[in-house]
């Protein structure tokens, strides 16, 4: 499956979005475009006490998010989706070494998972217009999203650069391959 188009959707859950996120509907729309174009989808869901318990409303994916049959699901308890999870096993079992990342929260779970994944050798593309976050005390969400897109574009991982592209470009490239 390494030549297939895979999208990893991070923390697009009801409970995570109880905190207002920048352009939520636009983000969901862009994530859904990737989901529809992908051959395989992996949903990463944060699980913890206090509203994100498995089976709870908070744990559930956003209702507007498309969930194709055959999607894969991995739970996590930390910002890093690789930390003490089944993610590496799931990727190996499905022969996935490259994927597109999108989701929430840009400055926590998306960033940490991307950096760990790139250091583990996965070829990662970030959908620059399909991740979101909340305003923080030190910076507004729009600034954080732009900042992290730039950080990821210039991230130093010798021999394994991270790509940052708009959804339009990703989907077009997938359709031409």
Record the tokens describing residue 55, joined without a space.
Answer: 């089976």
Residue-wise pLDDT tens digits, 131-145: 999 999 999 999 999
What is the overall mean pLDDT for the chain?
95
Q: How confident is the model at residue 1 (pLDDT cuts 50, 70, 90)?
A: very low
What integer is the mean pLDDT of 86-106? 97
Mean pLDDT of 12-29: 94
Share of the chain above pLDDT 90, in %: 92
User: Between vectors from CA 111 to CA 77 and to CA 37, what angle results, nearest 5°?
Assistant: 95
Residue 72: which residues within 8 A CB-CB, separation 6 or more? 40, 41, 42, 43, 90, 94
How would residue 3 be classed by pLDDT, with cut points 50, 70 and 90? low
The structure's pTM equals 0.95
Q: Looking at the predicted structure, is the pLDDT value of residue 173 above 80?
A: yes
Contacts of 70 (CB under 8 A, 6+ apart): 40
Residue count (the chain): 177
Confidence bin at 51 (pLDDT 50/70/90)? confident
- 2: pLDDT strictly greater than 60: no
């Amino acid at each position: 499956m390494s030549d297939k188009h895979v999208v990893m959707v991070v923390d697009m859950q009801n409970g995570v979005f109880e905190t207002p996120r920048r352009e939520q509907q636009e983000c969901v729309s862009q994530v859904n475009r990737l989901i529809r174009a992908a051959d395989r989808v992996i949903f990463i869901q944060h699980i913890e006490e206090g509203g994100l318990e498995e089976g709870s409303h908070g744990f559930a994916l956003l209702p507007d998010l498309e969930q194709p049959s055959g999607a894969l699901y991995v739970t996590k308890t930390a910002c890093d989706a690789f930390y003490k999870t089944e993610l590496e096993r799931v990727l190996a079992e499905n022969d996935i070494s490259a994927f597109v990342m999108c989701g929430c929260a840009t400055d926590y779970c998306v960033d940490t998972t991307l950096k760990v994944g790139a250091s583990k050798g996965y070829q990662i593309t970030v959908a620059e217009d399909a991740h979101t976050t909340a305003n923080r005390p030190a910076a507004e969400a729009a600034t954080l999203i732009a900042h992290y897109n730039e950080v990821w574009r210039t991230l130093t991982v010798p021999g394994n650069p991270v790509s940052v592209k708009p959804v339009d470009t990703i989907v077009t490239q997938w359709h031409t391959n």
